Structure 1
Amino acid sequence: MSRLLFKPITPEAREIVTSFTLHSYGQICDLAFANLYGWAVKYETCYCVEDDSLFIRFSSPLRSHPAYLVPITRGEGCVGKAIGRLGREAEEGGYPLVLMGVTPTCRERLESNCPEAFTFLEDEGNADYIYLRERLVTLSGKSLQSKRNHINKFEKTYPDYTYEPITPANALECMALEQAWLEHHESEDGGEDKEQEVILRLLTHLEELQLSGGILRVGGEIVAFTLGSPINGTTFGVHIEKANRDYDGAFTMINKLFASTIPEQYIYVNREEDLGIEGLRRAKLSYKPELILPKIAAVRRHECKEY
């Protein structure tokens, strides 16, 4: 059997890739096409469509061999012949099969169909925070009273604030805020610099990627911006959210304003991982997620005869 023919993720690949992802049950942020394209600068993300299945391959600085997202096959769950196909791909390449983005449901099916074939590795920092869209808009309930207080304070402190959608005409203005943010968040591994490149890719291809977003201004100056796109038919992803912390409540304000623009067909909003950063974890928990969805790595130890 011939090897899978992978192609780089480009904006032109959106239609074929989303024909699988938008109709799948997958809620993980990794399946959003904007994320696949944006982070391809770091992970060399590629895709292949074969046997009515979508395969996503990427490289990691932590590994000398590629890893794969759980393949999507039309009409099937996360367990099917496509995983066997990836197993043969790994064998022919001389490296272990590593699956990323394995949800608990998928793990159960893998363990049931292929007992002891996989080793599972879980990292709390990789879990996605998923919220009810309506609650992000209304901030209703006692548990979100502090968020409503932040909104009220922001509106009183900055009565001249404005909110506008991101368009090709104003998109690149957001990079000034991103640059200012970088100057206050230097890292040793250059991760923030790579994120800046990702954001520039997204803003430059806003329409091609069918991204939506919002800009919050005070006195005409951008103090926060956000970008997002659909993950599947019920879940919308927020991929980027930046704010100037000198403007108290800017994060809360941009979050609520953008959530109010997300179409009602999306019941859930995935606000992605906390990356093991304690402050980010507290911030995400403070919005009372409906679900914290683990994303597990699965390493195949031996062949599964089921496939």
Structure 2
Amino acid sequence: MLNFKLIEKSDINKFQKYYDNPEGISLTTNILSAYLWRNEYNIKFALYNNCLIKAYFNDDDSVWGYCLPHGEDIKPAVEEIIKDAHERGQKPFIVMLTDAQRVKLETLFPSEFNYEFSPENQEYVYLSEDLINLSGRKFHAKRNHISKFKNCYPDYRFEEITNSNKEDAYKVMLDWCAENEIDIEHYEEKNAIREALDNIEEFKMHGGIVYVKDKAVAMTLGCEISPIAFDICFEKALREYDGIYAVINNEFAKTLSSYKYINREEDMGIEGLKKSKLSYNPIILIARYNATLKNDGN
């Protein structure tokens, strides 16, 4: 059986070599995101044959799903995944496959897996220049939202997150939870944001805060996926400030002009979130698939 363990802070740099991809734009190559969400999704890793295997576990320590291994020769590692699942009394279930990973798995194991599209896990990727400039008719509504906000709050300001103002970013998250009546004690994203802010320099994360007068009303925080793509990991804003999400999105995008792409992650099957992400006109939708083994006699 594979020796899976919860990813630790010291593993980030150790595992990064398996994820490095100078052309990467997908969350599949973001080890820091896996670390920050490790407790929410019970994310564990195992090393096998110089490959790194990521898996999502259920509360009873059964495996919800394995991810395609990262490494040079992944076929033996996939075979070990199948063996590991059988030893646990489960059916092999490989999840979160991109199109390229699906093709790779099918090439290594022709006609051995069934594939099912997972729409709630597809990733929304945008051209940074689109989110910065908001040019053309397709961004007309966004420009109007920003204009309305600026007219209502002409004294607003945007600041990048530093150690000196990171508590203001955390306060936005707390205010957002109160506004949405979220049980803060059992809200794992709170812990993820807290850890990200506490290690913002060590993790090489970047973020921003929008203030109205001296009140922080929006925050965003993310990290580099590759030299060409940036991941927006967290974004919170207070809805009483109409247009604030368009403002924080645009102001932070201006700081990311060195990246060609901005990944705003998945919609998790939430219709309102899906509508919002589509309204920014993604240039790429990274499809995700789940794979089940055909004729699994276990």
Rounded Cα–Cα distance in structure 2 between residues aligned with 1:111 and 1:218: 52
- Aligned with residue 220 of structure 2, among 220, 226, 233: 226
1:236 aligns with 2:230: yes
Tell me the residue number matched to 1:261: 255
Tell me the residue number matched to 2:120: 125
Tell me the residue number matched to 2:165: 170
Any idea what SS the aligned residue of 1:299 has?
strand
1:51 aligns with 2:49: yes
1:69 aligns with 2:67: yes
Q: What pairs with 1:1-307 in structure 2 (closer than 5 Å)?
A: 3-23=1-21, 26-60=24-58, 64-74=62-72, 80-186=75-181, 193-262=187-256, 264=258, 266-302=259-295
Name which of structure 1's ranges 48-57 and 121-130 shifts more when overlaid on structure 2: 48-57
**1:168-203 deviation line (CA, Å, top 9, x unaligned):** 232232232222222233469x99712222222222
Change over 3 Å in CA distance of 1:26–1:85 after alignment to 2: farther
Rounded Cα–Cα distance in structure 2 between residues aligned with 1:191 and 1:118: 41
Aligned partner of 1:5: which letter? N
**How many Å apart are 1:212 and its aligned residue?**
0.9
| Preserved contact between residue 30 and residue 36 of structure 1 (Cα < 8 Å) | no
Structure 2: gaps of 5 or more residues: none
Question: Would you say how many aligned residue pairs link Structure 1 and Structure 2?
Answer: 296
Any idea what SS the aligned residue of 2:10 has?
helix
**How many Å apart are 1:218 and its aligned residue?**
0.9
| Preserved contact between residue 11 and residue 209 of structure 1 (Cα < 8 Å) | no
Any idea what SS the aligned residue of 1:260 has?
helix
**How many Å apart are 1:67 and its aligned residue?**
2.3
Rounded Cα–Cα distance in structure 2 between residues aligned with 1:104 and 1:259: 27
Question: RMSD of the alignment, in Å?
Answer: 2.6
**How many Å apart are 1:115 and its aligned residue?**
3.4
| Preserved contact between residue 132 and residue 250 of structure 2 (Cα < 8 Å) | yes
Rounded Cα–Cα distance in structure 1 between residues aligned with 2:12 and 2:83: 27
Change over 3 Å in CA distance of 1:299–1:187 after alignment to 2: farther
**How many Å apart are 1:105 and its aligned residue?**
2.7
**How many Å apart are 1:270 and its aligned residue?**
0.9
**How many Å apart are 1:100 and its aligned residue?**
1.7
Change over 3 Å in CA distance of 1:5–1:61 after alignment to 2: closer
Rounded Cα–Cα distance in structure 2 between residues aligned with 1:109 and 1:32: 19
Name which of structure 1's ranges 32-41 and 21-30 shifts more when overlaid on structure 2: 21-30
Aligned partner of 1:40: which letter? R
